[in-house]
């Protein structure tokens, strides 16, 4: 079987902090130059490439003299601000050596949670690609707070893959892929070369956070592959220091762990809803409503809601959870949280009598709902 990357025309490449900063010793100029050369080769093959790069905080820590990752949010933001300068400079220099322009794009979850900003981000990235520019994307750590963080750049890479409907996500890391156990602790661990994105067995194999520099471990990469697959993107997890790793993948060689997407692409609006990491509120569904949504493809009626959590307005994206707390779906609410509390557990025929108006017979119509 050839590499999943060979047929891809639009690719997201994500590189982690330990690779970019040579395990915290400062920006690895030689490694970044090698990736730039490989991406130039991919472009010569007719492929569009977006680079999602960690490393700003790690570089800022080095420049500001921090020996350990700060816990204070303002110190972390200061590290990001200082480190981002060096990161952007080295990428620009490395790609200019191949007559390729770069653009720095800093994102927060708020940019993707708002529909208009989501579409603006999409248009900007696709325009940059059309103009032959390589976008360099990072989370905007200088302003972001924990409440609106992507959490790690693996997740960000998957969201960007969804955003611009990429064909593939390549996650370059300091491990050779997903192993049956932690190879740093178990010498008998074997490399998983092929799998299905979203397979629960893979999540069980993945461990915790990988390094003190970054936020993501192998589990975040497995979950990122699951998220990327929602828009039909395949994922490869590979060792970033492997010689010519990107060009070899593009030429059909199997390297690392390849996780194939099994599902078709969601519609653009449903993909936007699925990509919400933080929603305005929650509604708790009884077992019957969970069955109607997940098995029968029905809309969510107020009578199936047993609790409303948080405060939200009409048209907000909310999460539907079962009585066990597990997310079932996300969707656009026809009613505010206050209105939803008044009509929950009531048949739709009583909505007008209770509220004085009817926005819809459903709390969430099935056309505005996506299963998780």
Tokens of 4: 């999943």
Report d(CA 37, CA 240) in Å as an integer.
14
Q: Is 54 annotated as a binding residue?
A: yes
Alpha-carbon span 142 to 78, nearest angstrom: 7
Sign of torsion, CA 49 265 7 258?
A: positive
Do the Cβ atoms of 87 and 21 come closer than 8 Å?
A: no
Cα distance between residue 33 and residue 93, in whole Å: 9
User: What angle do the packed helices 29-44 and 73-96 form, to 10 degrees?
Assistant: 50
Locate the DSSP E strands across 265-348. 281-285, 305-310, 317-321, 327-332
130-169 in b/e burial notation, b at 16+ Cβ within 10 A? Answer: eeebbbbbbbbbbebeeeebbebbbbbbbbbbbbbebbbb
The answer to the question of whether 173 is labelled as a binding residue is yes
- 281: its two tokens: 């509120």
H or E element: which one contains 235? Answer: strand 234-239
Residue of 98, 256, 108, 244 lying closest to 168 (CA atoms): 256
How many Cβ atoms sit within 10 Å of the Cβ of residue 34? 18
d(CA 47, CA 223): 25
The response to whether 306 counts as a known ligand-binding position is: no
Sheet strand arrangement including 257-260: 102-107, 134-139, 48-53, 10-15, 168-173, 234-239, 257-260, 194-196
- CB neighbours of residue 42 within 10 Å: 21
DSSP 8-class letter at 213: S
Annotated binding site for ATP: 14, 173-174
Annotated binding site for substrate: 54, 141, 153
Annotated binding site: 14, 54, 141, 153, 173-174
């Amino acid at each position: 079987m050839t590499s999943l990357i060979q047929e891809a025309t639009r690719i997201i490449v994500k590189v982690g902090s330990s690779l970019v900063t040579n395990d915290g010793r400062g920006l690895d100029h030689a490694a970044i130059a090698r990736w730039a050369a490989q991406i130039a080769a991919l472009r010569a093959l007719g492929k569009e490439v977006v680079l999602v790069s960690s490393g700003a905080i790690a570089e800022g820590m080095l420049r500001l003299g921090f020996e350990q990752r700060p816990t204070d949010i303002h110190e972390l933001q200061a590290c990001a601000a200082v480190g981002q300068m060096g990161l952007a400079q080295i990428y620009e220099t490395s790609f200019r050596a191949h007559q390729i322009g770069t653009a720095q794009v800093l994102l927060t979850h708020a940019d993707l949670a708002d529909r208009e900003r989501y579409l603006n981000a999409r248009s900007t990235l696709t325009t940059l690609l059309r103009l032959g520019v390589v976008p360099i994307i990072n989370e905007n750590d200088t302003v972001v707070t924990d409440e609106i963080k992507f959490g790690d750049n693996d997740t960000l890479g998957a969201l960007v893959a969804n955003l611009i409907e990429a064909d593939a996500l390549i996650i370059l890391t300091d491990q050779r892929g997903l192993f049956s156990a932690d190879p740093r602790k178990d010498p008998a661990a074997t490399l998983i070369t092929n799998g299905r994105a979203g397979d629960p067995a893979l999540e069980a194999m993945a461990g915790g956070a990988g390094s003190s520099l970054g936020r993501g471990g192998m589990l975040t990469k497995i979950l990122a592959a699951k998220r990327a697959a929602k828009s039909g993107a395949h994922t490869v997890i590979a060792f970033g220091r492997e010689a010519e790793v990107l060009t070899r993948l593009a030429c059909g060689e199997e390297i690392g762990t390849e996780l194939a997407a099994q599902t078709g692409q969601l519609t653009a609006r449903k993909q936007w809803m699925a990509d919400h990491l933080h929603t305005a509120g929650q509604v708790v569904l009884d077992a019957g409503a969970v069955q109607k949504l997940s098995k029968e493809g029905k809309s969510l009626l107020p009578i199936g809601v047993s609790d409303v959590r948080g405060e939200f307005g009409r048209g907000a994206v909310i999460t539907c959870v079962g009585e066990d707390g597990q997310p079932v779906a996300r969707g656009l609410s026809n009613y505010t949280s206050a209105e939803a509390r008044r009509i929950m557990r009531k048949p739709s025929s009583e909505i007008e009598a209770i509220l004085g108006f009817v926005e819809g017979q459903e709390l969430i119509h099935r056309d505005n709902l996506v299963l998780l």
